[in-house]
Amino acid sequence: MRRVGFRLVRLNEHQNEFNQFNVVSYQTSSGEFDTQTAYFNRYSQLHFYPDPIGDLVFNGVSSDVYRQSVVNGIQQDTAWRVGYAHTLRFGFSVSAERTLVNNATTVLPLDPSGAGTIDAPFSVFDSNAKTGWLVGSYVQDEWKITNNLTLNAGLRFDQMYQFVDANQLSPRVSLTWKPFDGTTFHAGYARNFTPPSQVIASPVNLALVTPPGAPANTQTPEVGLNSPVLPERSHVFDVGVVQKIYPIPGLEVGADAYYKKARDLLDDGQFGAAYVLSGFNYDRGENVGVELKSTYKNGDFSAYANLAWAKQIATNVASNQYLFGQDELGYISTHYIYTDHAQMLSASAGASYLWQGTRYSVSMIYGSGLRSGFANTDHLPGYTQVNFGLSHDFNIVAPNKPTTLRFDVVNAFDTIYQIRDGSGIGVFAPQYGPRRGFYVGLSQRF
């Protein structure tokens, strides 16, 4: 018991992440044409270092995970004002991504009964490299039918060449109507095509941990199936209104409702001791929600409030089935379940006041709790977090280039709450909200 307690306290895992983004663009405007051409680049690297002995003792598996992604691409967009009533927009994008995923895993063989392990660890190494391509193009017409009615309609084509090759032609249409001054209605429909993140969709060689004729080990999955991760295809409907309340100058309220019906709904989760994500699909999914918002501004005082109700359900895991236990996989195949990020209620509010050059602010967030338990059939308790802040502009460089000094208190009442509890789909490690923190920031406008 002493040895177990000692190793638990001294468990030493760490993870390094590095991300770099670069964009260079060229914009022109000539007569009826506006154009923009951009080159973009992204480099991402993630390396999870296990505690080789500690992870093996407590989890039965010690995984050293390395992921690298390099993306280079070009995007071009053009707007052509065809007379007063029409603006034609069109463009394309092409990107290439090179990914490398290495997993060096140490495991323990199981005894013949499967109830215990044999103290004879051995290592397996799985490596996967891929160059994938994403190609897309679109055309869209913005038609001002009247001064108060605008129709946007277009088509988009996407082609992916990754671990799965797929494409889709997607129509989009939206209507904006301003029947009165201060009132704006909108309604729209879009057919979407969403490729999976290539590094998260990298396949796993299950034969390395399920060798024919050899005894099972601590990494052998209950379900020996890993169908490839597919792109998500969805229909999205949206309708909403924004209204200025003229009896109260500066007050604006709005409401928005949406519905999404998806095939091969994309999701991801952390399914093991390593804090990295693995992707998978649900065969079918639905997402429905309502959002309410309001803003108010009067002189030096401003405030906002938002409330959202959402429900996302899905059924039947269609890829990377090995990530799930047999009982959970069977349950999901015959039931619609809540996805792990489906929080029923979310709210935020805040206010700020500028007094003698200093801005005082307060903000809060509320959540009804993310999913937990077997197949996400339960959820965590709700939580509320309150933050305070103040900032002041100093004219050190120039009056129009202020130096801003700010001080913030995050979670001012030091509320302790869990975001995750280590249960639910794709949730291995518990996660807590931030404790009370004090932050000082300095920025200079140039």
Q: Is the pLDDT of residue 101 over 80?
A: yes
First to last CA, the chain: 61
pLDDT at 343: 92
pLDDT-derived band at 3, boundaries 50, 70, 90: very low
Q: Is the pLDDT of residue 172 over 80?
A: yes
Give 362-413 pLDDT, tens digit per residue. Answer: 999 999 999 999 999 999 999 999 999 999 999 888 878 889 999 999 999 9
Query: Mean pLDDT lowest for which of 38-52, 69-83, 209-223, 287-301?
Result: 209-223
Residues 2-444: name the CATH superfamily.
TonB-dependent receptor, beta-barrel domain (2.40.170.20)
pLDDT at 344: 96
pLDDT-derived band at 4, boundaries 50, 70, 90: very low
Contact at 8 Å (CB) between 106 and 122?
yes
> 212-218 contacts: CB < 8 A, separation 24 or more?
215/109, 215/110, 215/111, 215/112, 216/109, 216/110, 216/114, 217/107, 217/108, 217/109, 217/110, 217/122, 218/59, 218/60, 218/61, 218/107, 218/108, 218/109, 218/110, 218/117
pLDDT at 247: 85
The fraction of the chain above a pLDDT of 70, given in percent, is 98
Give 311-347 pLDDT, tens digit per residue. Answer: 999 999 999 999 999 999 999 999 999 998 889 999 9
Q: Is the pLDDT of residue 24 over 80?
A: yes
Token pair recorded at residue 102: 């290495």
Beta-strand pair 165-177/183-194 = antiparallel
The fraction of the chain above a pLDDT of 90, given in percent, is 76
Mean pLDDT score, 88-96: 98
pTM over the 0.85 mark: yes
Mean pLDDT score, 148-166: 97
Give 181-209 pLDDT, tens digit per residue. Answer: 899 999 999 999 999 999 999 999 998 88
Distance (Å, whole) CA 234 – CA 192: 5
pLDDT at 9: 54
Give 283-319 pLDDT, tens digit per residue. Answer: 999 999 999 999 999 999 999 999 999 999 999 999 9
Those residues with Cβ within 8 angstroms of residue 374's Cβ, 6 or more apart along the chain or in another chain: 327, 328, 331, 423
| Average pLDDT score, the chain | 93
AA letter at 267: D
Token pair recorded at residue 339: 């996805």
pLDDT-derived band at 279, boundaries 50, 70, 90: very high
Strands (E), 318-423: 337-338, 345-355, 358-367, 371-372, 378-379, 383-398, 401-410, 418-421
pLDDT at 188: 98
Give 362-376 pLDDT, tens digit per residue. Answer: 999 999 999 999 999
Contact at 8 Å (CB) between 80 and 87?
yes
Residue 203 phi/psi, 5° resolution? Answer: -75, 155
pLDDT-derived band at 98, boundaries 50, 70, 90: very high
AA letter at 125: F
pLDDT at 60: 85
pLDDT at 148: 95
